[in-house]
Amino acid sequence: MVDLSIVVVAYKSEPLLHATLASITQHTRDITYEAIVVDNSPSPGIAALDQIVPGANLIRNPHNTGFATACNLGLRASQGRYLALLNPDTLLHDDALSALVRWLDDHRQIGAAGPQLLQPDGQPQPYSYGSAPTPGYLIRRVWSHLRGGYLHQWAGTQPQPVDWVAGTCMVVRRDAYEAVGGLDERFFLYFEDVDWGWRLRRAGWPVIFLPAVTITHIGGGTVGSRAVAHYDRSLVRLYAKYYGPVVTAGVWLALCAYRVIQRLARRLHEAVGAGR
């Protein structure tokens, strides 16, 4: 059994994927690991990866099954004591994955941990972690966005218990994974990590954000033009799973109204800019 199984889901992102895999080989030391790449790309898909990561396991999907389903394929093929999800538009540095494994080895009651995500300019990226999206939380979050701010402070140095860490990069203990199962495949994209954190905590496995460990997230390399539609659909499905039809309907209506306000605000901004 290796220390860490690193599952990377790729979709039309070969140049970014190669950079991510190269950073794994350069910046993962002191632990044994395996790389499992699940290719969701249409035919012909990505090329062989042995020249980048010797022994990498490449799993090809006949069509794009979504992030959660593809991750589960990789997780089921894994052999590690710990399981890592890693986006194909990230760059590791400073032995980040090894640091997460060592921290979890020292804190055996913790189920999962995630690092601080950095933007390409080195600034902390929003939503490396978050709170469970209760109705009250969503209202506060929307209000903070409309005012141009955020609810959380993304930078820090101390470990922090959180409701979820981003599936962009997270490490999960195998015992915790076996206790709750894999990602919920009803989420094609987005909120599968929120749901996983929810289930881990309910099963008695805390989730921790470790801001002292950092990786770079380039962002936007694999999502495509339907990102907002995927986001909204998955948020509604999360509410349908945990809150029932009445609250879900209210969230859907509020989300529709929010998107209309966003579009109107964008058009107004463009009109003002064009009039200058």
> What backbone torsions phi and psi does residue 247 show, to the nearest 5 degrees?
-65, -40
Taking each helix axis from N to C terminus, what angle separates 245-274 and 227-242, rounded to the nearest 10 degrees? 160
DSSP single-letter state for residue 123: P
Reading the chain (276 residues) residue by residue, the pLDDT tens digits are: 899 999 999 987 788 888 999 999 999 999 999 999 998 887 666 766 766 777 788 898 888 889 999 999 999 999 999 999 999 999 999 999 999 999 999 999 999 999 999 999 999 998 899 988 887 887 787 777 667 777 777 888 899 999 999 999 999 999 999 999 999 999 999 999 999 999 999 999 999 999 999 999 998 655 555 788 888 999 999 999 998 899 899 888 988 887 888 788 788 877 777 666
Alpha-carbon gap, residue 108 to 117, rounded angstroms: 24
**Per-residue pLDDT, 155:** 80
Coil, strand or helix at 215: strand
Read off the pLDDT of residues 136-146 as tens digits, 9 standing for 90 and up: 887 787 777 66
Q: What is the token pair recorded at 266?
A: 């964008």
**Per-residue pLDDT, 137:** 80
> What backbone torsions phi and psi does residue 107 show, to the nearest 5 degrees?
-135, 75
For residue 97, give the nearest of 109, 78, 118, 83 by alpha carbon.
83
In this structure, are residues 221 and 89 in contact, taking their beta carbons and an 8 Å threshold?
Answer: yes
Read off the pLDDT of residues 144-166 as tens digits, 9 standing for 90 and up: 766 777 777 788 889 999 999 99
Burial class (CB in 10 A: 0-12, 13-18, 19+), 240: middle
